[in-house]
C-alpha cells in the first residue's frame, strides 16, 4: 500500500480527501502546514509516494524537493486556485489541479482523474517548460499528447488487446454457462454472475481469463488442485477448463458466489472484538488445513475473506505449493511479508498477512510499514491486549519466529475472553442496511474469484460461547463437506437498529 501526504491549511479537507484515498489503497496522512508535515514524517518515518499540497504554503517547494530526494518515484500534485503563476514550485510538481468539491462523487472523480493523469504528466517533465506545469491537469496532458503522438497509438493498441468485458453479458461459455451479469474485470480477466448445477441451478461466479495472457500449465493445475480440497472454510471450485467465446480463446473457472467480503464491510465500520475473534479462528483453521497439505494461500487480504451463504470462507483459486518460487510483487504492500521481496512464499507468509488483516479488521486501516524490513510494522496502541499480542506474534520480521496456524489456534482457545481483552476499539454502532454498487475489479486483479451481490444486508458475526468444538449448522441444506476442523457458526442477521 502506498502512502499519501496531504498538506493544506484546511485540515478538514485533508481528512476528507484522505478518506477517499484510503479507499484507493493509499495510507493517507493530513497536515495543515509544512512544519506539521515535517514533524509527522520524522515521528512515523514515512516514505511518501504521493504528495498533495497547497503550493501557497511557506516552504512548500522545499518540502517537495526534500521528499523527492528520498524517493525518486514521488509524485507531487499541487492544489491550485486561480493564481496565474507558481514561480517556485512549478518545476517540482507532476500535476496542477483544482481542489475537488466537497461531495462523494466529486472526490471519487478527482482521485480517478489524478491517478489516470499522473503517468501521462511525466511527459511534461521532459519539456522543461514551467508554463505547462502552471496549467491544470487536463491542459497539461493534452499538451503532452500533442508533443508525443505515440501515447494515443499505445492506448489504441491496449484497447484492441483488452476486450470490452461488459459487452460480454449474455454470451455462453462452454455451451452451458451464461454470463448473466458483469461484476468486475482487469485488462486480462473478468468475473460474471452465472448459474450452475443440475435441476435447480444455483448462483455461481465465473472467471474468464484471456488464454494468451495466462500460463495454462500453471493456472489449470492450480485450480484442479484447489478443487480437490474439501474444507468448510474454502470457497468451492466447481468447473474449469479451456474454451472459446466471442472468437477469443479463454480459460474459465466456475466457483461459489459470495454475497459480501470483509473489505466491503470495513468501508462502513470495523469489526467488533467478538467478530474479529470468530473471523480469526475461521481463517486460522482454514490455513492450518491448507498448510498441512503443503499449500499456501500466498495473497491473503480482507477482500479474500468472504461471506458465502451462511458462513465465512477464504478464496481458494490462488492456492499454490509452499515450495513454489514466485516473482517478487511489482507493487509490494504491507500485507506482503518481508521475504516476499525475494520471491519466497510459505505458511509463515500467510501468518504475516493474517496479522495485517486482523489489525485492518479492527481499525479499518492496515498498520504503517517500517522502512527497514527487519522491523515489524507500527502497531496501533488502541488494539485490545489479546489482539495486540496476536499481531505481534504474526508480524515478526523473521519468518521462523512466527507461530503456526495451529499454534495460534491453540493459544486463542486457552485465552479466556476477559472484559479487558475484548473492550471495543471504537464505540459500538448499529449495523445499517445500505445499498452499494459492485466496485470489485480489484478482486479479479488479486486473483479472487468470488464477488459481491448487490442490495445485500451485511451480516453480523456472532462469537460462540467458549467450547471445545462447534456443531455444524443445522440449517444447512447442502451435504456437509469433509471437515478437518470445527465448522464455523453461521452468519446471523444484524440486530434491529437502535434509536439514535
pLDDT for 337 beyond 60: yes
Based on the domain organization, do 206 and 144 belong to the same domain?
no
| pLDDT over 70, % of the chain | 69
Which whole number is the average pLDDT over 254-274?
A: 91
Does residue 470 lie in a domain region? Answer: no
* Most confident range, picked from 35-39, 148-152, 238-242, 478-482: 238-242
The DSSP-derived string for 332-345 is --TTS-GGGGGTB-
Q: Picking from 167-181, 346-360, 368-382, 450-464, which range would have the lowest pLDDT averaged per residue?
A: 450-464
Q: Are residues 148 and 231 in the same domain?
A: no
Q: What does the block give as the cell for 149? A: 503522438
pLDDT at 271: 94
Confidence at residue 169, expressed as pLDDT on a 0 to 100 scale: 92
Q: Are residues 110 and 172 in the same domain?
A: no
369 against 267, higher pLDDT: 267
pLDDT of residue 203: 93
Neighbours of 328 (CB within 10 A): 12
How many separate domains does the chain show? 3
Contact 50, 2 (CB under 8 A): yes
- Report the run of H or E that residue 283 belongs to, with start and end: helix 273-292
Asked whether residue 404 falls in the same domain as residue 296, the answer is yes
Quick one: 278 and 411 in the same domain? yes
Assess contact for 396 and 407: CB atoms under 8 A: no
222, 256, 290 - which closes a domain? 256
Q: Which residues of 427-466 are buried (b: 16+ CB within 10 A; e: fewer)?
A: eeeebeeeeeebebbebbebbbbbbbbeebebbbbebeee
Q: Does a structural domain hold residue 462?
A: no
Residue 451 placed within a domain = no
pLDDT score of 434 more than 90? no
Predicted pLDDT of residue 213: 59
pLDDT of 433 strictly over 70: no
* pLDDT higher than threshold 90 for residue 226: yes
For the record, the C-alpha cell of 449 comes out as 474469484
> Last residue of some domain: 188, 222, 256?
256
Residue 367, domain extent: 260-446
- Is the same domain home to 133 and 200? no
Question: In this predicted model, which residue has the larger pLDDT, 81 or 5?
Answer: 5
CATH number at residue 382: 1.10.510.10
Give dist(CA 278, CA 365) in Å, integer. 19
Q: What is the CATH number of the domain that holds 231?
A: 3.30.200.20
Question: What is d(CA 304, CA 450) in angstroms, rounded to the nearest whole number?
Answer: 9
Q: How many CB atoms lie within 10 A of CB 192?
A: 27
pLDDT of 245 over the 70 cut: yes
Q: Which residue has the cell 494515443?
A: 152
- Determine the pLDDT at residue 161: 53
pLDDT at 432: 29
Give the whole-angstrom CA distance, residue 116 versus residue 47: 22
Question: Quick check: is 303 in a domain?
Answer: yes
Within this chain, do residues 326 and 378 fall inside the same structural domain, yes or no? yes
Q: Where are the alpha helices (DSSP H) in 240-272?
A: 262-266
Higher pLDDT, 280 or 27: 280
pLDDT at 47: 83
Query: What average pLDDT does this structure show over 371-377?
Result: 78
Comparing 210 with 146, the larger pLDDT belongs to 210
Residues 208 and 313 both lie in one domain: no
Q: What does the pLDDT look like over 382-396, one tens digit per residue?
A: 899 999 999 999 999
Return the higher-pLDDT residue of 449 and 20.
20
Per-residue pLDDT, averaged over 255-270, amounts to: 91
Q: Is residue 66 part of a domain?
A: yes
Q: Of 256, 291, 319, which residue sits at a domain end?
A: 256
9 and 121, same structural domain? Answer: yes
* Alpha-carbon gap, residue 492 to 310, rounded angstroms: 8
pLDDT digit string, tens, across residues 187-213: 788 999 999 987 668 899 999 998 875
**What is the rounded (10 degree) CA torsion for 162, 164, 170, 173?**
0
In angstroms, the CA 162 to CA 9 distance is 43
CATH code of the domain covering residue 116:
3.40.50.2300
Instruction: Specify whether the CB–CB gap between 235 and 227 falls below 8 A.
Output: no
Would residue 457 count as lying in a domain?
A: no
CA distance 243 to 236: 21
Regarding whether 413 and 297 lie in a shared domain, the answer is yes
Number of alpha helices (DSSP H) and beta strands (DSSP E) in the chain? 14, 17
Based on the fold, state whether residues 271 and 357 are members of the same structural domain.
yes
Cell numbers representing residue 232 in the block: 468448510
Burial 304-323 (b: 16+ CB within 10 A, else e): bbbbbbebbbbbbbbbbebe
Q: Is residue 81 part of a domain?
A: yes
pLDDT over 80 (residue 354): yes
Average pLDDT over residues 443-462: 36
Give the range among 91-105, 251-265, 284-298, 427-441 with minimum mean pLDDT: 427-441
Q: In terms of DSSP H, where are the helices of 196-272?
A: 216-227, 262-266
Residues 314 and 245 in one domain: no
Structural domain contains residue 500: no
Contacting residues for 230 by C-beta, under 8 A, at least 6 apart:
481, 482
Amino acid at each position: 500500500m502506498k502512502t499519501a501526504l496531504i498538506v493544506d491549511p484546511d485540515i478538514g479537507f485533508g481528512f476528507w480527501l484522505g478518506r477517499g484515498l484510503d479507499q484507493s489503497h493509499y495510507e493517507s496522512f493530513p497536515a495543515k502546514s509544512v512544519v506539521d508535515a515535517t514533524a509527522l514524517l520524522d515521528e512515523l518515518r514515512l516514505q511518501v509516494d504521493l504528495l498533495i499540497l497547497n503550493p501557497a504554503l511557506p516552504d512548500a517547494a522545499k518540502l517537495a524537493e526534500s521528499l523527492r530526494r528520498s524517493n525518486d518515484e514521488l509524485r507531487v500534485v499541487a492544489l491550485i486556485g486561480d493564481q496565474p503563476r507558481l514561480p517556485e514550485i512549478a518545476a517540482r510538481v507532476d500535476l496542477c489541479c483544482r481542489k475537488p468539491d466537497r461531495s462523494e462523487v466529486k472526490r471519487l472523480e478527482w482521485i480517478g482523474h489524478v491517478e489516470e493523469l499522473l503517468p501521462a504528466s511525466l511527459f511534461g517533465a521532459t519539456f522543461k517548460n514551467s508554463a505547462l506545469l502552471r496549467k491544470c491537469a487536463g491542459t497539461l496532458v493534452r499538451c503532452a499528447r500533442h508533443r508525443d503522438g505515440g501515447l494515443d497509438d499505445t492506448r489504441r493498441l491496449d484497447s484492441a488487446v483488452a476486450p470490452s468485458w461488459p459487452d460480454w453479458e449474455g454470451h455462453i461459455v462452454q455451451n452451458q454457462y451464461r454470463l448473466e451479469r458483469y461484476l468486475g474485470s482487469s485488462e486480462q480477466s473478468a468475473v460474471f454472475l452465472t448459474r450452475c448445477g443440475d435441476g435447480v441451478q444455483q448462483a455461481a461466479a465465473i472467471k474468464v481469463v484471456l488464454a494468451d495472457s495466462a500460463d495454462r500449465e500453471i493456472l489449470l493445475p492450480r485450480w484442479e488442485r484447489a478443487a480437490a480440497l474439501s474444507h468448510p472454510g474454502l470457497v468451492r471450485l466447481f468447473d474449469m477448463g479451456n474454451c472459446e467465446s466471442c472468437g477469443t480463446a479463454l480459460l474459465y473457472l466456475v466457483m461459489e458466489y459470495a454475497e459480501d467480503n470483509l473489505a466491503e464491510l470495513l468501508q462502513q465500520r470495523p469489526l467488533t472484538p467478538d467478530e474479529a475473534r470468530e473471523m480469526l479462528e475461521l481463517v486460522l483453521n482454514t490455513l492450518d488445513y491448507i498448510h498441512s497439505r503443503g499449500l499456501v494461500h500466498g495473497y491473503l487480504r480482507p477482500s479474500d475473506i468472504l461471506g458465502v451463504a451462511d458462513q465465512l470462507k477464504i478464496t481458494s483459486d490462488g492456492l499454490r505449493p509452499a515450495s513454489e518460487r514466485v516473482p517478487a510483487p511489482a507493487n509490494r504492500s504491507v500485507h506482503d511479508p518481508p521475504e516476499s521481496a525475494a520471491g519466497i512464499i510459505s505458511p509463515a507468509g500467510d501468518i504475516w498477512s493474517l496479522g495485517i488483516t486482523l489489525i485492518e479488521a479492527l481499525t479499518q486501516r492496515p498498520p504503517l510499514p517500517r522502512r527497514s524490513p527487519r522491523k515489524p510494522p507500527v502497531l496501533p496502541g488502541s488494539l485490545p491486549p489479546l489482539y495486540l499480542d496476536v499481531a505481534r506474534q504474526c508480524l515478526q520480521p523473521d519468518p521462523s519466529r512466527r507461530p503456526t496456524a495451529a499454534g495460534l489456534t491453540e493459544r486463542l482457545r486457552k485465552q479466556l475472553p476477559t472484559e479487558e481483552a475484548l473492550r471495543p476499539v471504537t464505540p459500538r454502532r448499529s449495523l445499517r442496511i445500505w445499498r452499494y454498487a459492485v466496485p470489485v475489479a480489484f478482486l479479479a486483479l488479486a486473483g479472487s474469484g468470488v464477488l459481491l451481490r448487490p442490495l445485500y444486508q451485511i451480516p453480523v458475526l456472532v462469537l460462540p460461547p467458549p467450547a471445545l468444538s462447534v456443531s455444524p449448522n443445522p440449517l444447512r441444506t447442502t451435504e456437509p463437506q469433509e471437515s478437518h476442523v470445527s465448522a464455523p457458526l453461521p452468519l446471523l442477521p444484524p440486530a434491529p437498529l437502535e434509536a439514535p
